[in-house]
C-alpha cells in the first residue's frame, strides 16, 4: 500500500476520520499498480502496431533516433529550446538557445512572450529564429555554419529526424511548427539536423560512459517518456534493423477508460474543469500542471466547513507550494503560509494534514509513474529476449528534481513492479545537453553514412555494369574457343571429352574420388536400373590438412591413396579393382577422358611438383608406391562436369554445370564446330570454362575495388583466379574483413578501435556469411555470431557488419548471374533459337547455404538473358556421383568398342 501515515496531533479543522476517507481514493496498492503496468503495456503494444497505431491512446511516436551517444560525438551544434509555460524555479536557466560544444553549455535566455504561444505559429518561429541569430551573433565566432537540434516538447509526428509536424500540446502551447522555420539567418547557415522531444533530449543527455541509458522520463508541467525500442517492433516505420527511439506520449494513457478504476473523484473534478476534458488522464494525475489542482480539490472537501473563496479559485494552489510543503524540515511552515494565503487560519494539525495531502498526491503520482516506467523496461527486456535488462533512466522535470521522495518512491516501486530489470534513475542535466548530443549523434551518423555509402558504393553494380561483365565473358569465351586466340583469353575453355549426358542405361559398381571442395570424399557408387533404386552411394569424408594440400605433391597423392585403402578396407572391398571416376576440381588440360595435365592449383591447394603433370599418372604412381592394391582410373572429371552429369541423370535438359563453393566455375555443352582447339565438326562436347580465371588478363580491372586487390595480393596465387576471388566462398569473408577494417579506420565501426581479432585473416568463413544473413535473425543473434568470432560489437556495429556482408554477397551473386547469362545466351545463339529452355545443375556450399545467393543469381540471369528460360537444379549427391556415371558411360562405350 502506498499509504500515508496520518498521525493525529490535536483536533483541528479536519476530523481524522474525514482525513482518512478523503485520502483513501488516492491510495493505490501494489496490486493496482501491477494492473496499471499491465494496461500500459497493452496500450504501448497498440501504439506500436501498424493496425492500431492511429487510434492508440499511447501514441508511441518514432523519433528517428537510432542510437544513444557513444562518447565520440564531436563538433559544435546549436540547441534551441522552444517550450511552453516553464516550471523552472527562478535560479534555473529558463529556455533559450544553447551552444553545445564538446559538452560545454552556454546559455542565453530571451523570454518568450506569452502571447506567442497561442498566436500564429509563424510569429513564434520568427521570434525563435531572431533569438537564435542574436545568440549566435553574441558569440562572436568566426564560424558561420552550424547544425541545429531543436527541442520541441509537444506531441509531434516525425517522418525523419529533421522533420516534424506538431499538434497543440497539453502543456499550453498552441502554435504549430515545422523544421523549415529558419529561413534566412543573416550570415549564418543553419542546418536542422534534429528535432527532438524533451524526453529524447533528456535521455540523450546522460553520460555515455556510465553505461547504457535508453529511457528518458520527464515529469514537469506535463509528463512523457521515451525509450530505445527494437525497430522491428515499431511497425509504423520501415526499418527492421537496430533500434529506434520511441516517444510514448503516455500522458494520454487512460483516455479510453483504461484508468477508470484508478481515477479518484478529485481527478474527475479536475478533468471536468480543464481545457481538455476526458483527455490526458494519466498526465493529469502525475504532472506539475495538475498536482496543485488535485490538492486544491481535496482541501475543498476537507475544509468544507470553512468558507474560503480563494480555495474555490482554480490555480490557487501551485506545484511549487506542494513541493515545498512535502519537505520534512520546512514543509509545515510552508503549509501554514499557503493555507493562510488561501484565507484559512490553520492549526498545527491542519498544517500537518495539508502536508499529508500533498505527500499523498505526490506519492500517487510517483506510483503511477513507476507503473508506466516498469511497463517500458519490461517491454524492453522482453522484446530484446533478455532474462535481465540493465539500463539507466534519465529523468528530468521540476517534480522529480524538487521532490526527493518522488524519486525514491519511483525507484523503489519500479524495482518491485519490474523485478527483472536493474533500473538506475539518473537526474538529467536538462535536455539542452541532450539536444546537443542528439545533434552530435545525428551528425556523426550522417557523416558515417556518407563514409559507408562511399565505401560500399564501390561494390554496387548497376545493370549496365553487369551487362558489360556478361559481354566481356562472352568475348573471352569466343577467344578461348579459337585455337589462334586461346592463349590470349583468360578463360581456358577446356575440352572434357564428354560428348553426351547419361541416358539411364549405365550399370555397375564404381569407385569415385572427389577432391577440391570443402571435403575430400571416397565413394562407392552402385548404378542400377530405375526399378532397383537407380544410383546408390556409400561414401566417406577425409580431411586434407593444409600442410598436405600445400606440401610435396607425392605426399598429397600418398595421402589420397591411403584414404582409398582405408575406405576399401571399411567396405570389405580390398582386392577388388573397380573402375574409378576421379573428380578433380582444378584446371586440367585433357587430351583424353583419363588424362589431365594440371594447369595450376587454385583455392587452398599448392602442392609442389604437380603443375604440368598428368594427375591420373600421379595417382597411379602413388598406388604403385603403396604396392598393395590396383586402381582402374577411367575418367578424370572437373566438379562442374560431375555436377552437370549428376543432375543430367535426373533431368536430360541439364546442359550446364555450375559450382559456387570454395571456388567457382562452370561447364556447358558446346557445339564441336565451335571448338577450334579440337578436330571434329559434328555433335557437342562439354567445355570446362574455368571461369574463375576470367579477368586474369586485365579485362575486369575496372571492377576491382581496393579490397579485391588486397585479397588477391595476400592470396596463395596473386594475379590469378581474379573472377573467383570476387565470387567464391573462399574469398568473400576476406573481402568483408577488409571492408570492416577500412570502416573501423574511418571510425564507422567498433568506435574506431579495431579488435585484434579483426586483424586475423580468414576469420570469416562462408558459413558465417550465410548465417549472418539468415532471414528473421534477430540482431541479438547477429551479435552472438560476431561475439563467437571474438568481436565485441554494439547493436549498430552488427547492423553495419550485416550490411557489408549483404553488399559483398549480392555483388558476388550478380557477377555469377551475369556469367551464367553469358553461357546460356551462347547456347541459345549456337542453336539458332528464339527461346532456349535449359537446366543448370548447381553445387557448392555458398550457392546452397546462403539464404539469398541463389535467388539473386537467378534474378540476374532473368534480367540479362530474357530469351532463356533457365531452371536451376541443385545437385544432391555431389559431383562424385557424376564422376561415377561418366566412368559408367566410358565402360559401356569401351565394351561396345571391344564387341
Ligand atoms: C560438390 C562436389 C565437390 C565440389 C563442391 C563444391 O559437392 O562434390 O567436388 O568441389 O561441390 O562445393 P564446396 O563448397 O565444397 O567447394
Ligand atoms: C577450379 C575449378 C573448379 C572450381 C570449383 C576452381 O578454383 O579452378 O576447376 O571447378 O574451383 O570447385
pLDDT at residue number 303: 78
Task: Considering only residues 171 and 694, tell me which one the structure prediction assigns the higher pLDDT.
Answer: 694
Give which of 133, 131, 157, 159 is closest to 146, Cα–Cα. 133
Banded model confidence at residue 119, pLDDT cuts 50, 70, 90: low
Range of lowest pLDDT (161-175, 821-835, 880-894): 161-175
Q: Do 61 and 156 contact (CB within 8 A), yes or no?
A: yes
User: 853: part of which helix (H) or strand (E)?
Assistant: helix 853-864
Q: What is the pLDDT of residues 624-644, one digit of tens each?
A: 988 778 889 999 999 999 999
- Position 626 in a domain: yes
| pTM, rounded to two decimals | 0.70
- Do 407 and 507 have their domain in common? no
Banded model confidence at residue 680, pLDDT cuts 50, 70, 90: confident
The CB of 664 under 6 Å from ligand 1? The reply is no
Q: Do 40 and 370 contact (CB within 8 A), yes or no?
A: no
CA of 784 to the centre of ligand 2 (A): 33
b/e sequence 823-842, b meaning 16+ C-beta within 10 Å: bbbbbbebeeeeebebbbbb
The CB of 432 under 6 Å from ligand 1? The reply is no
For 760, residues 6+ apart whose C-beta sits below 8 A from its C-beta are: none
Query: What mean pLDDT, rounded, does the chain reach?
Result: 85
The CB of 299 under 6 Å from ligand 1? The reply is no
pLDDT at residue number 5: 39
Q: Map grid coordinates 529524447 to a residue.
A: 200
**Parent domain of 523:** 495-660+875-898
- Do 418 and 518 have their domain in common? no
Query: 68 vs 147, 389, 722, CA distance in Å?
Result: 18, 16, 42
pLDDT at residue number 252: 95
Q: Map grid coordinates 545443375 to a residue.
A: 841
- Position 547 in a domain: yes
- Do 538 and 400 have their domain in common? no
Range of lowest pLDDT (294-308, 366-380, 668-682): 294-308
- Do 505 and 423 have their domain in common? no
Banded model confidence at residue 77, pLDDT cuts 50, 70, 90: very low
Length of the chain: 899
- Position 345 in a domain: yes
pLDDT at residue number 561: 94
pLDDT at residue number 4: 43
- Do 511 and 654 have their domain in common? yes
For the CA of 844, the nearest atom of ligand 1: 12
- Do 499 and 362 have their domain in common? no
- Position 564 in a domain: yes
Q: What is the pLDDT of residues 705-757, one digit of tens each?
A: 999 999 999 999 999 999 999 999 999 999 999 999 999 999 898 888 877 88
For the CA of 845, the nearest atom of ligand 1: 14
- Position 738 in a domain: no
* pLDDT average, residue stretch 471-498: 96
CA of 626 to the centre of ligand 1 (A): 28
Q: What is the pLDDT of residues 813-847, one digit of tens each?
A: 999 999 999 999 999 999 999 999 999 999 999 99
Query: 316 vs 292, 294, 660, 762, CA distance in Å?
Result: 8, 11, 79, 73
The CB of 724 under 6 Å from ligand 2? The reply is yes
Dist. CA 484–CA 681, nearest whole Å: 17
Q: What is the pLDDT of residues 523-572, one digit of tens each?
A: 999 988 777 778 899 999 999 999 999 999 999 999 999 999 999 999 99
- Do 517 and 637 have their domain in common? yes
Give which of 699, 773, 762, 796 is closest to 444, Cα–Cα. 796
CA of 618 to the centre of ligand 2 (A): 19
Dist. CA 685–CA 688, nearest whole Å: 10
pLDDT at 174 over 80: no
- β-bridge mates for residue 685, sequence order: 670
pLDDT at 299 over 80: yes
Of 427, 448, 472, which residue sits at a domain end? 427
- Position 558 in a domain: yes
Query: 766 vs 715, 738, 790, 813, 844, CA distance in Å?
Result: 16, 15, 17, 13, 11
Ligand nearest to the CA of 767: 1
- Position 583 in a domain: yes
- Position 590 in a domain: yes
Active site residues: 521, 585, 639
Dist. CA 187–CA 142, nearest whole Å: 11
For the CA of 639, the nearest atom of ligand 2: 10
Q: What is the pLDDT of residues 379-435, one digit of tens each?
A: 999 999 899 999 999 998 888 877 778 889 999 999 999 999 999 999 887 666 666
pLDDT at 165 over 70: no
pLDDT at 76 over 70: no
CA-closest residue to ligand 2 atom 3: 585
Of 372, 402, 427, which residue sits at a domain end? 427
Banded model confidence at residue 170, pLDDT cuts 50, 70, 90: very low
CA of 692 to the centre of ligand 2 (A): 7
CB neighbours of residue 500 within 10 Å: 14
CA-closest residue to ligand 2 atom 12: 663
83 three-state secondary structure: coil
- Do 401 and 294 have their domain in common? yes
Angle at 499 between CA 497 and CA 504, to 5 degrees: 120
- Do 413 and 508 have their domain in common? no
Q: What is the pLDDT of residues 240-267, one digit of tens each?
A: 778 889 999 999 999 999 999 999 999 9
Q: What is the CA radius of gyration of the chain?
A: 38
Helix%, strand%, coil% for the chain, nearest 5: 45, 20, 35
701 three-state secondary structure: helix
- Do 376 and 506 have their domain in common? no
The CB of 655 under 6 Å from ligand 1? The reply is no
Of 397, 427, 457, which residue sits at a domain end? 427
Ligand nearest to the CA of 640: 2
CA of 55 to the centre of ligand 2 (A): 59
Range of lowest pLDDT (369-378, 423-432, 502-511, 569-578): 423-432
Indicate the burial class of 127 (C-beta count within 10 angstroms; 0-12, 13-18, 19 or more): middle
Q: Do 395 and 12 contact (CB within 8 A), yes or no?
A: no
CATH classification of the domain holding 403 = 3.40.367.20
CA of 663 to the centre of ligand 2 (A): 5
CATH classification of the domain holding 623 = 3.30.420.40
pLDDT at 193 over 70: no
Which of the listed residues 517, 519, 690, 731 should we mutate to test ligand 2's pocket, taking the one with most ligand atoms within 8 A of CB? 690
- Do 419 and 514 have their domain in common? no
- Do 385 and 521 have their domain in common? no
The CB of 642 under 6 Å from ligand 2? The reply is no
CB neighbours of residue 307 within 10 Å: 10
Q: Do 438 and 247 contact (CB within 8 A), yes or no?
A: no
pLDDT at residue number 84: 37
Number of domains in the chain: 2
Give which of 561, 581, 565, 583 is closest to 573, Cα–Cα. 565
pLDDT at residue number 108: 52
The CB of 518 under 6 Å from ligand 1? The reply is yes
pLDDT at residue number 153: 56
Amino acid at each position: 500500500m502506498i499509504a500515508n501515515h496520518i498521525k493525529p496531533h490535536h483536533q483541528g479543522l479536519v476530523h481524522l476520520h474525514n482525513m482518512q476517507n478523503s485520502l483513501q481514493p488516492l491510495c493505490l496498492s501494489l496490486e493496482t499498480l501491477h494492473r496499471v503496468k499491465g494496461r500500459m503495456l497493452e496500450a504501448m503494444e497498440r501504439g506500436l502496431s501498424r493496425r492500431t497505431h492511429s487510434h492508440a491512446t499511447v501514441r508511441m511516436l518514432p523519433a528517428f533516433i537510432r542510437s544513444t551517444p557513444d562518447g565520440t560525438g564531436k563538433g559544435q551544434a546549436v540547441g534551441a529550446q522552444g517550450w511552453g509555460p516553464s516550471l523552472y524555479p527562478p535560479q534555473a536557466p529558463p529556455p533559450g538557445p544553447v551552444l553545445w560544444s564538446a559538452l560545454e553549455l552556454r546559455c542565453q535566455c530571451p523570454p518568450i512572450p506569452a502571447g506567442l504561444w497561442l498566436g500564429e505559429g509563424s510569429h513564434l518561429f520568427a521570434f525563435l529564429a531572431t533569438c537564435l541569430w542574436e545568440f549566435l551573433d553574441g558569440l562572436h565566432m568566426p564560424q558561420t555554419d552550424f547544425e541545429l537540434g531543436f527541442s520541441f516538447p509537444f506531441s509531434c509526428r516525425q517522418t525523419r529526424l529533421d522533420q516534424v509536424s506538431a499538434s497543440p500540446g497539453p502543456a499550453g502551447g498552441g502554435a504549430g511548427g515545422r523544421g523549415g522555420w529558419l529561413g534566412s539567418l543573416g550570415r549564418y547557415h543553419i542546418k536542422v539536423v534534429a528535432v527532438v522531444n524533451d524526453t529524447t533530449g533528456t535521455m540523450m543527455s546522460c553520460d555515455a560512459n556510465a553505461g547504457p541509458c535508453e529511457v528518458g522520463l520527464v515529469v514537469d508541467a506535463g509528463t512523457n517518456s521515451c525509450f530505445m525500442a527494437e525497430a522491428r517492433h515499431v511497425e509504423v516505420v520501415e526499418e527492421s534493423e537496430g533500434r529506434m527511439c520511441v516517444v510514448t506520449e503516455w500522458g494520454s494513457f487512460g483516455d479510453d477508460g483504461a484508468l477508470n478504476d484508478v481515477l479518484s473523484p478529485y481527478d474527475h473534478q479536475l478533468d471536468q474543469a480543464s481545457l481538455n476534458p476526458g483527455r490526458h488522464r494519466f498526465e493529469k494525475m502525475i504532472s506539475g500542471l495538475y498536482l496543485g489542482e488535485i490538492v486544491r480539490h481535496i482541501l475543498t472537501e476537507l475544509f468544507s466547513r470553512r468558507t474560503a473563496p480563494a480555495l474555490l479559485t482554480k490555480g490557487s494552489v501551485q506545484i511549487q507550494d506542494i513541493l515545498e510543503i512535502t519537505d520534512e524540515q520546512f514543509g509545515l511552515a510552508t503549509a501554514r503560509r499557503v493555507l493562510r494565503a488561501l484565507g484559512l487560519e490553520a492549526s498545527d494539525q491542519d498544517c500537518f494534514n495539508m502536508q499529508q495531502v500533498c505527500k499523498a498526491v505526490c506519492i500517487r503520482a510517483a506510483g503511477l509513474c513507476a507503473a508506466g516506467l516498469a511497463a517500458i523496461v519490461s517491454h524492453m527486456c522482453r522484446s530484446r529476449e533478455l532474462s535481465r535488462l540493465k539500463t539507466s533512466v534519465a529523468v528530468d522535470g521540476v517534480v522529480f528534481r524538487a521532490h526527493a521522495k518522488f524519486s525514491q518512491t519511483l525507484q523503489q516501486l519500479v524495482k518491485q513492479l519490474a523485478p527483472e530489470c536493474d533500473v538506475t534513475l539518473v537526474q538529467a542535466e536538462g535536455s539542452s545537453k541532450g539536444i546537443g548530443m542528439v545533434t552530435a549523434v545525428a551528425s556523426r551518423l550522417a557523416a558515417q553514412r556518407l563514409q559507408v555509402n562511399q565505401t560500399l558504393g564501390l561494390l554496387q553494380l548497376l545493370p549496365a555494369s553487369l551487362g558489360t561483365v556478361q559481354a566481356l565473358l562472352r568475348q573471352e569465351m569466343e577467344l578461348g574457343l579459337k585455337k589462334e586466340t586461346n592463349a590470349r583469353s583468360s578463360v581456358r575453355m577446356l575440352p572434357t571429352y564428354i560428348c553426351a549426358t547419361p541416358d539411364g542405361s549405365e550399370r555397375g559398381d564404381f569407385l569415385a574420388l572427389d577432391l577440391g571442395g570443402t571435403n575430400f570424399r571416397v565413394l562407392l557408387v552402385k548404378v542400377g536400373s530405375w526399378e532397383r533404386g537407380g544410383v546408390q552411394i556409400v561414401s566417406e569424408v577425409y580431411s586434407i590438412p593444409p600442410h598436405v594440400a600445400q606440401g610435396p605433391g607425392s605426399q598429397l597423392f600418398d595421402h589420397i591413396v591411403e584414404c582409398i585403402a582405408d575406405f576399401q578396407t571399411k567396405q570389405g572391398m580390398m582386392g577388388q579393382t573397380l573402375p574409378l571416376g576421379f573428380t578433380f576440381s582444378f584446371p586440367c588440360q585433357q587430351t583424353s577422358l583419363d588424362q589431365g595435365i594440371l594447369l595450376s592449383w587454385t583455392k587452398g591447394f599448392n602442392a609442389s611438383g604437380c603443375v604440368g603433370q598428368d594427375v591420373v599418372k600421379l595417382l597411379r604412381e602413388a598406388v604403385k608406391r603403396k604396392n598393395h592394391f590396383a586402381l582402374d582410373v577411367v575418367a578424370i572429371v572437373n566438379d562442374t562436369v560431375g555436377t552437370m552429369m549428376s543432375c543430367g541423370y535426373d533431368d536430360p535438359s541439364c546442359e550446364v554445370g555450375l559450382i559456387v563453393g570454395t571456388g567457382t566455375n562452370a561447364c556447358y555443352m558446346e557445339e564441336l564446330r565451335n571448338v577450334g582447339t579440337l578436330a571434329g565438326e559434328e555433335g557437342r562436347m562439354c567445355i570446362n570454362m574455368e571461369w574463375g580465371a576470367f579477368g586474369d588478363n586485365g579485362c575486369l580491372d575496372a571492377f576491382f575495388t581496393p579490397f579485391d586487390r588486397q585479397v588477391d595480393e595476400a592470396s596463395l596465387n596473386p594475379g590469378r583466379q581474379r573472377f573467383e576471388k570476387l565470387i567464391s566462398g573462399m574469398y568473400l569473408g576476406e573481402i568483408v574483413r577488409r571492408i570492416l577494417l577500412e570502416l573501423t579506420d574511418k571510425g564507422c565501426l567498433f568506435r574506431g578501435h579495431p579488435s585484434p581479432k579483426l586483424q586475423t585473416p580468414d576469420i570469416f568463413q562462408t558459413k558465417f556469411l550465410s548465417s549472418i544473413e539468415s532471414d528473421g535473425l534477430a540482431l541479438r543473434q547477429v551479435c552472438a555470431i560476431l561475439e563467437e568470432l571474438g568481436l565485441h560489437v554494439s547493436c549498430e556495429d552488427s547492423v553495419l557488419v550485416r550490411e557489408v556482408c549483404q553488399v559483398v554477397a549480392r555483388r558476388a551473386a550478380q557477377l555469377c548471374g551475369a556469367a551464367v547469362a553469358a553461357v546460356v545466351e551462347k547456347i541459345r545463339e549456337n542453336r539458332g533459337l528464339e527461346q532456349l529452355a535449359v537446366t543448370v545443375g548447381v553445387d557448392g556450399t555458398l550457392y546452397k547455404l546462403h539464404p539469398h545467393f541463389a535467388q539473386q543469381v537467378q534474378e540476374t540471369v532473368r534480367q540479362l538473358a530474357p530469351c532463356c528460360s533457365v531452371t536451376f537444379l541443385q545437385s544432391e549427391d555431389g559431383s562424385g556421383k557424376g564422376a561415377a556415371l561418366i566412368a559408367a558411360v566410358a565402360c559401356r562405350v569401351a565394351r561396345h568398342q571391344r564387341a
